Amino acid sequence: MNWTVNPLCDALGAKIEGFDFAAQWSDEEQQKLKDLWLEHGLLLVRGENANPENQIRFSKLFGELEAHPLKTIRSGEFPELMELNSEDSRTNPVAVWDGEEWVGRLGWHKDLIYTAKPNRGAILRAVKLPSVDGQTGYADQAKAYEALPDETKARIDGLKVIYRFEVNLYKMPFLDTSTYVAGPGAPQKPSDVGFPDFPDSRYPLVLEHPETGQKILNVCPMFVDRIDGLPKAESDALLTELVAHVTRSEFAYLHQWQEGDMILWDNWRYMHSAPGVKPGAKRLIHRTTILGDTVLGESV
């Protein structure tokens, strides 16, 4: 192997450097990459020949890819690529946070957690970057579970959590919107952004990873709605406590992008977030999405 592997940061992840995305990877190298992904759940890969074709080829090492259902953000040349473009006002309305205008800010979430079948994972590649801002955050819910007190683990064992699809941030009860002011064009209902009304989904609050067996604290500030079967006051208090825990900085990593960087994450284990960029900033990220063939929850 001509590439090296080191810790991504003190808390989590692995960093692969000297990687050639155009190479013919041996069976040994392919297995090593898959093993690293399962072990760490978050890989930063840097090297040569990072382009759309090679991103797609690299992504297919980890599973079948999804063509995004919204054609407006799908690459015309490569249907497996989603284009996250800060200059596209249709998908990036301006909003105010902490008294400043931002584009593309997203709180902590997992993709499709509001359905019973979230994506297996995804890869982002930095194509065009602003001089400041535009980072991406990742948070390890397996490490968050490990750090819970034993009495909390016993308390939440066997409980179920309900997720609900919303596009109006004010309707997400555990997302902190205290400094948020929706801008013009902010969606009010799913059809505003071309999505259907998904039914609620129910998951184990402590989710067992289907491939590693790790226990995951399955709580995200975006889309989480309630603990199934608990009175509202008790449910709200418990979720407030768990959201505060799972978003602690020691379980998180904020990536400062370099052009060509690819990051692969395990969407069953990790939340991600985006602090956003200022209006007018030019940021383009290409995303490939790895489908999951395992149903982790149920529609309700």
What distance in Å separates the CA atoms of residue 130 and residue 153, rounded to the nearest whole number?
42
Cα gap 62→77, rounded to integer Å: 22
Are 281 and 128 in contact by the 8 Å Cβ rule? The answer is no
Q: Hey, what are 67's tokens?
A: 């063509």
Give the three-class secondary structure for 240: helix
pTM: 0.95
pLDDT of residue 71: 66
219 contacts 239 by C-beta, under 8 angstroms: yes
E runs forming strands in 130-238: 136-140, 160-163, 180-181, 201-204, 206-208, 215-217, 224-227
Judge whether 93 and 294 are in contact, CB under 8 Å.
no
User: How far, CA to CA in Å, does 230 sit from each of 13, 133, 202, 227?
Assistant: 35, 40, 14, 6
The per-residue pLDDT for 298 is 96
pLDDT value of residue 292: 83
Among 105, 135, 133, 104, which Cα is nearest to 253's? 135
**For residue 115, what are the contacts with CB-CB under 8 A and spacing of at least 6?**
165, 198, 201, 297, 299
Eight-state DSSP code of residue 230: S
d(CA 18, CA 48): 7
Residue 95: per-residue pLDDT = 94
Q: What is the pLDDT along the chain (300 residues), one digit of tens a residue?
A: 889 999 999 989 999 999 999 999 999 999 999 999 999 999 999 999 999 999 999 999 999 998 766 666 777 778 899 999 998 866 778 999 999 999 999 999 999 999 999 999 999 999 999 999 999 999 999 999 999 999 999 999 999 999 999 999 999 999 999 999 998 878 888 777 777 788 999 999 999 999 999 999 999 999 999 999 999 999 999 999 999 999 999 999 999 999 999 999 999 999 999 999 999 999 999 999 999 889 999 999
* The predicted structure's pLDDT at residue 60: 97
Would you state the pLDDT for residue 79?
86
Q: What are phi and psi of 147, to 5 degrees?
A: -85, -5
Q: Residues 242-275, buried b or exposed e (16+ Cβ, 10 A)?
A: bbebbbeeebbbebebeebbbbbbbbbbbbbbbb
> What's the pLDDT at 11?
87
Give the pLDDT score at 70.
64
What pLDDT is attached to residue 69? 62
Query: With contact defined as beta carbons under 8 Å apart, do 11 and 41 qualify?
Result: no
d(C-alpha 246, C-alpha 221), whole Å? 9
